[in-house]
Structure 1
Amino acid sequence: MNELTYYTEISEDLQKNNPTAYEELDEEIHIIIHKLKFIPLESRPIVQVISNDESIQQDYLQELLKVAGAQPIASAVPLEDVEILIFIDETNNYLSTLPVELQTLYAESKAVKNNQIYIIQKSAFAKDKAAYIQDIEVLAEIVQSKYFVFGHEGEEWIKFDIRY
């Protein structure tokens, strides 16, 4: 797990300052990783996260996605290959404009064609390292829904159902 830069940083801090929290984090991460180890990387979905919030660190978000079971993406992926679209929207601003965007900007993606559109409404998503495991749980429920149910659906994320 040495390729998980943020996990290493967070766990080292917790080991020194809060060993109980470290044990909980470590156990949870290992459970998630163990469940996903039998899914080859090429079989994991290609996920694109869209946010207007410039304060989200992309490398941190990519680590969260990787742990949650998405296919690691090193560079830009053609839109037509994107299997899951996730919009980060704490304020519900996307709800009014999203249908038009999906029909125009994202219409060619596999995500739109297969109705795999999600909105994360969790406060400070991917910005607070103290919520590392909760953010992974939110993503894991979306990205690998067959394997993970943590109870965040409806509270911190919703499926945006498009039926045209």
Structure 2
Amino acid sequence: MHKKRIISLLPAATEIICALGLEDNLVGRSHECDFPLSVKELPVCSDAKFVSGNSSVEIDRQVKEILSDALSIYKIDKALIESLKPDIIITQAQCEVCAVSEKDVEEALSDLLKNNTRLISLQPNTLTDIFREIKETAVILEIEETGNQLIEDLQERIDLVKHKLKFFPSKPKVACIEWLSPMMIAGNWIPELIEIAGGMPILTENGKHSPFVTWEQIYDENPDVMVVSPCGFTIDRTLREIDLLINLPGWRDLTAVKNNMIYIADGNAYFNRSGPRVVDTIEMLAEMITPKYLVFGYEGEGWIKFES
């Protein structure tokens, strides 16, 4: 049987492919695909037009400027992709800012797509969507049973968290910050993950895109827990800009600050990725929302407590 050659232009899709046991089928990746570490050896088929090391404010400005000209914020290496002769290219249609989009690929590789290269576009908004797309990807790759087993294993871990929190006494209000300036609250699948992990998400709705909010809205809600996990940022990257948050008026008045329930999490590796590690995110949230009640071992690697 012909071994399908796959290019993944989405970090979550790369993780799905590897979790399904098909890492050897990958022949190319996006500039953001970095897990498992072994995929970093693959040819890089895309790049960003903005400077990722800039501040939150500057990244936001650059992205808006590029989008206002009706341009993509990502570059695709058309010649490299064509030389890799992929049978399948996986991308996404969920967010033009987060990763290379379906539209980007269709415009850059129209000739290739006419010649039997299949384009798979993922568009998850909820946890159910993520699991469905894992299953659909497995079906396309003719390993449906492997996909079913992966989903079953992930669901078992979720059920364990639910069972352990069944009698947890309270549902603390949780603010999950997805961008620092302008401020955004995490949407899409994150509200549901917070609920599974024992919390009550504020200023956001499950399955809906992440909303822009004002500091006054967060202050008025007065969250019990705050998780800071900016899109695409590691913990260290977030720490470089945490002053944007802690210098806001009334910061020390928040219940989350008074009770030392401010956390910084790895948004890049966990919160912003719609792949198998979405369950790691649930376990991490449970550790943060219900401290010492549940321990999975992510502290120090996936999240840290921020002493403000």
Could you state the TM-score of these two structures normalised by the residue count of structure 1?
Answer: 0.77
Q: Which residue does the alignment assign to 2:274?
A: 129
In structure 2, the residue matched to 1:24 is 153
Amino acid at match of 1:121: D
Indicate the RMSD between aligned Cα atoms, in angstroms: 2.9
**CA–CA distance in 1 between the matches of 2:262 and 2:126?**
27
Per-residue deviation at 1:23? 1.6
Q: Quick one: distance in 1 between partners of 2:265 and 2:178?
A: 10
- Superposition deviation, residue 112 in structure 1: 1.0
Distance 1:26 1:94 in 2: 30
1:104 is aligned to 2:248: yes
Structure-2 residue corresponding to 1:49: 176
Aligned to 1:33: 162
In the TM superposition, residue 96 of structure 1 has moved relative to its aligned partner by: 4.5
> Greater helix percent: which structure?
1
User: For 2:172, what is the secondary structure of its paired residue?
Assistant: coil
Higher strand share: 2
1:154 positional shift = 0.2
- Equivalent position to 2:302, from 137, 156, 159: 156
Tell me the alpha carbon deviations over residues 106-153 of structure 1, each in whole angstroms, 9 at most, x when there is no partner.
Answer: 222101111211100253432222121011111111111232211110
**Structure 1 unaligned residues grouped into runs of 5+:** none
Deviates more, 1:63-72 or 1:9-18: 9-18
Per the TM alignment, residue 78 of structure 1 is displaced from its structure 2 partner at its CA by 4.8
Give the SS at the match of 2:188: helix
Identity level (%): 33
Matches within 5 A, 1:56-71: 58-71=187-200
Report the Cα offset of residue 47 of structure 1. 0.9
Measure, in 1, the Cα distance between the counterparts of 2:239 and 2:128.
36
> CA–CA distance in 1 between the matches of 2:281 and 2:193?
7
| Equivalent-residue separation in structure 2 for 1:91 and 1:134 (angstroms) | 16
- Render the CA deviation track for 1:12-37: whole Å, top value 9, x for unaligned: 44456312211211111111111112
Closer/same/farther in 2, CA of residues 99 and 36 from structure 1, 3 Å limit: same
Tell me, yes or no, if structure 1 residue 10 matches structure 2 residue 130.
yes
Quick one: distance in 1 between partners of 2:273 and 2:262? 24
Is residue 69–residue 144 contact of structure 1 (8 Å, CA) maintained in 2?
yes
- Indicate the residue corresponding to 1:140 in structure 2: 286
SS of residue matched to 1:125? helix
* Cα distance, 1:10–1:46 mapped onto 2, change above 3 Å: same
Residues 84, 61 of structure 1: alpha-carbon distance in 2 compared, 3 angstrom cutoff: same
Larger Rg: 1 or 2?
A: 2
Q: Distance in 2 between matches of 1:100 and 1:73?
A: 20
Q: Distance in 1 between matches of 2:296 and 2:236?
A: 22
Q: Distance in 2 between matches of 1:59 and 1:19?
A: 23
Deviation at 1:69, TM superposition (A): 1.0
Looking at both structures, which has the greater relative contact order when contacts are Cα pairs under 8 Å and sequence separation is at least 6? 1
2:127–2:189 CA contact under 8 A, matched in 1 = no
Structure-2-length-normalised TM-score: 0.44
